[in-house]
Amino acid sequence: MQISKNSDITTVKGVGEKLKKVLANLSIETVEDLIKHIPFRYRDTREILSISEFKEAEEGTFLAQIVDTKNIYTRSRKKLTVVKVVDNEDKLTLTFFNQTYLTKILKKGDWYIFDGKITNKNGKNIYNPKYEKYQGDSELQTNLGKIYGIYHETKGVTSRNIRKLLLEIKSQIPKLFTEYLPPDILQKEKLVEINEALVQIHFPDSKDALEMARERLAFDEMLRVALKIEEQAIERSKQKSKEIKVDEKLHKDFLETLPYQLTKDQNKAIDEIYNDIAKDFPMNRLLNGDVGSGKTVVAASAILQCVKSGYSAILLAPTTVLAKQHFETLKEILKPLDVDIELCISEEKTISDADNKLIVGTHAVLFQKELPEDFNLLIVDEQHRFGVEQRELLLNIGEYTPHYLTMTATPIPRSLTEVVFGSTDISVIKQKPARRIEIETKYVPLKKRDACFEWIRDRIINSNNQEQAFFVYPIIEEKDNGIKSVKGQYKILKDKYFRNLNVALLHGGMRDKEKQEILNDFRSKKYNILVSTSVIEVGIDIPDATIMVIENAERFGLAQLHQLRGRVGRSDLESYCFVIPSENIEEKENSLERLKYFSKHNSGFDVAEYDLQQRGPGEVYGVNQSGIPQFKVASLGDIELLHRTRKVARELLLNDNYNVNKIKEKLFI
């Protein structure tokens, strides 16, 4: 039967309506979807051992003849299928659990290829090995006796099932895909054609053939990213911006007003920003800094130069609380240098028509009928919390494009920055200000929880109620799943553990005005302890808060834990972060390992790199929001491949002989 890439999956022999529904769970609905369901790893079973060789190696692939099969029912009602096999030299017993149907499949006298591992060394027994009838030629084998792929599976569909379906259409794959990359690019980059790559990725003839197939598909995946990066870079080079003249004396005056010295990283970031804004095309820079590394003062230096050059700047924050905090902080920093600052957190508020000012606000700024005509610098804090459309509204309001700086306190590993922010220049701040003492992080097992709370109570009292503490919980309301809620624990902490201290409650279900009042009261020492959800995760700055307690800590991502830890240690006082797990943490080995890693590492960049390796970018950063590509073959950390594909992408985009739109349509993803 002739099929096309767009043919429904039911056109593949063996797929009925029932299997179609199951395959949909793997996003396989068409023939093309099936072909692009790429193995995530491979097993090489080409070396066929004799039984005696297999016994010696204790694992591998061997060929044997079936001499007997029988089902056995144990006293504990377990169903076992015992299969005895032989070859010309030796014999072996195989045991299968809960597969009584095998007595009808594995028939006496037939030869089979088996693959597995010996677990009972004394009896030389092998449990639940993979098996496939021997066809006499590896070309005719579906799974064993060759290099075979292991696929992502779902309930009702195994890798074996997927390989069988692909085998049905193997001969038609070369006809379904025509080459779309120019011959000179293929030759220069030493790439195999796409149809050959798609056959070899599923049915590799050799390790070399598999490697060449993977290299081609990885190249195509990365080329898609590279094209996007280069398109943005070319577009940016065409945009015009108004130069901001950097006044060195003004910068010197600014540094002299600060009650502290900037770190080497901060000074480097300021130099990079000054260099950008002095040009006649727009700055596009990411300020990637660890929690508490001093990004705001770096932004303030750019704002100062912008305003004093005769322009206005806008700083966007993701929440009202954070916008107000930025407003107060920047007002304090820039006060000695006479910079006008306005706060815009309501759609009803109208921005004044005064020039040369800073506007600090939330997305409410976007609803203003008119923005300052002299607007020339946009700073966005935590850009991933804003939609792309929202940012573009502010960057495309006139003939000139404002300079653009985005700040994030979520450290982004180096392996990701070039892929995600390829067309963006990056400044990194890793150093913490010298005045800040490193936070001591401790993993607290449940049996030591009460003792930990006693220590916290004594610490606050002995400081004459000057030091303060955060207690953070993952949910607002109590549920029957053993997870502590902020409302439930607020009452327990207030009535049992900290009766002589003032305890406040804060969570995302409250109105902004109420949240702001509680934070202001906490800042002014009306409360000793703030019991909260992760609503305090970003940007909250309480200098005398020295203790952070996070319960059910494994429920938070490592990046989130690091953000929460960053709410303390914001002064020269010794600070502590206590992570307390749930009751069943010992059963979750990975969760326990993550918490222990977190407790031993203070660098947000180290934590982010570890989290990325453990969970992958999609889960860590959220694929839809982050703009991080979901590669099937390519590696996010393959910077060499990115550089290769960026050169090719630029060549494709700048050469009119290439049909780039057609290439983008057909690129393997």
Q: Which residue has the higher pLDDT, 590 or 306?
A: 306
The CATH number given to 440-626 is 3.40.50.300
Instruction: Identify the band that residue 627 occupies on the pLDDT scale cut at 50, 70 and 90.
Output: low
Homologous superfamily (CATH) of 46-145 is Nucleic acid-binding proteins (2.40.50.140)
pLDDT computed for residue 156 by the predictor: 92
pLDDT single digits (tens) 413-444:
776 777 877 778 899 998 888 777 889 999 99
Q: Could you tell me how far CA 113 lies from the centroid of its own chain?
A: 41
pTM over 0.75: no
Q: Tell me, what amino acid is at 328?
A: E
pLDDT digits (tens, 9 = 90+) for 443-479: 999 999 999 999 999 999 999 988 999 999 999 887 7
Q: How far apart are CA 8 and CA 659, in angstroms?
A: 29
DSSP label at 261?
P
- Which of 263 and 142 is assigned the larger pLDDT? 263
Domain ranges of the chain: 46-145, 177-238+640-669, 248-429, 440-626
With residue 455 as reference, give the H or E element that holds it: helix 449-462
- What is the C-alpha to C-alpha distance for residues 541 and 332, in angstroms, rounded to an integer? 14
CA of residue 462 relative to chain centroid, distance: 42
Question: Which of 166-170, 473-477, 613-617, 663-667 has the lowest average pLDDT?
Answer: 613-617
Do 46-145 and 440-626 come out as alike in CATH topology? no
Tell me which CATH homologous superfamily contains domain 248-429: P-loop containing nucleotide triphosphate hydrolases (3.40.50.300)
Continuous segment of H or E residues that includes residue 426 = strand 425-429
Task: Please name the residues in contact with 304: beta carbons below 8 A apart, sequence gap of 6 or more.
Answer: 250, 251, 254, 334, 337, 339
pLDDT value for 657: 84
For 72, the 3-state DSSP assignment is: strand
**pLDDT per residue over 78-114, tens digit each?**
899 999 999 988 999 999 999 999 999 999 999 999 9
Predicted pLDDT of residue 430: 87
- Of residues 16 and 603, more confidence is placed in 16
Q: Are 125 and 119 in contact (CB under 8 A)?
A: yes
